Structure formats: C-alpha cells, structure tokens
Amino acid sequence: QVHLVESGGGLVQAGDSLTLSCAASGDTECIDAMGWYRQAPGKERELVTVIVSRGNTHYEDSVRGRFFISSDIDKNTVHLQMNSLKNEDTAVYYCYAFSQGNASSPRHCPREFIYWGQGTQVNVSL
C-alpha cells in the first residue's frame, strides 16, 4: 500500500506562483511514476503532469511552460511548481502514484494500479 499526502494548496492571485508537494510512504518501491491530476468544478478530472522513474516528464498543454514537476527520490516526494497561475487553474489537485507491477517489479506490487492522495484546493482569483 502507498499513502500519499499533499500540501501547499491555497488562495493566490492570477500571475502568482504556488508549489504543491506530495510525500509518499509505505510501499514506495512499487512506484513507477508520480504526478498530478486536477478537477475543476463541473469538469472531469484531467491529467496535469507526470514524472516517471527515469526522470522523463509530461505536461498537459495548458500548463506546459508554466508548471514544473520535480522529484526528491530520497524523500519519496514530488513537487509541482506552478507559475503564472490563471483563474482557470482553479481546481482540486490530486497527487497520484502509479504501480506498473510488471516482471521487473517486486512481487507484491500491484499491476497497473493508481494510488491517490486526498486532494488539495488551489484557488486563483482574478
């Protein structure tokens, strides 16, 4: 089991910056990728960014160039630096960790399983 705890959400003004953090504990050896989804009111949850174990990253188009994900492997933590925030970035941000669970994974790791954090609210005012 992997437990994720997010921190860093809050209320900011448009143009401001904010950093979210997500600390993983438990079976962290099962984690092959970590990242963030977000869900705005009345909208579906969408992928924001992901970082895989080799350090490769992916960003959703609307945040590319403004948001940056980084990982602190020793602390099993990922950080999301959000710059030039816009009102449309307002959402609940959910940290997630993905377990591939393939032949090279420890036996106890689940196959293609996603762990979720509890979510942290980010509000960007105009």
Cβ atoms of 38 and 94 closer than 8 Å: yes
On the question of pLDDT at 61 being above 80, the answer is: yes
On the question of pLDDT at 75 being above 90, the answer is: no
- Edge to edge, the sheet with strand 67-72 lists 2-7, 18-26, 77-82, 67-72
On the question of pLDDT at 13 being above 80, the answer is: yes
pLDDT digits (tens, 9 = 90+) for 21-58: 999 999 999 999 999 999 999 999 999 999 997 889 99
Q: Is the dihedral of CA 70, 72, 78, 82 positive or negative?
A: negative
Which pLDDT score is estimated for 44?
A: 96
Q: Report in angstroms the alpha-carbon separations of 117 from 30, 54, 73, 85, 111.
A: 16, 22, 18, 22, 19
pLDDT digits (tens, 9 = 90+) for 81-120: 999 999 999 999 999 999 999 989 999 999 999 999 999 9
Query: What residues pair up with 59 in beta bridges, in sequence order?
Result: 49
On the question of pLDDT at 74 being above 90, the answer is: no
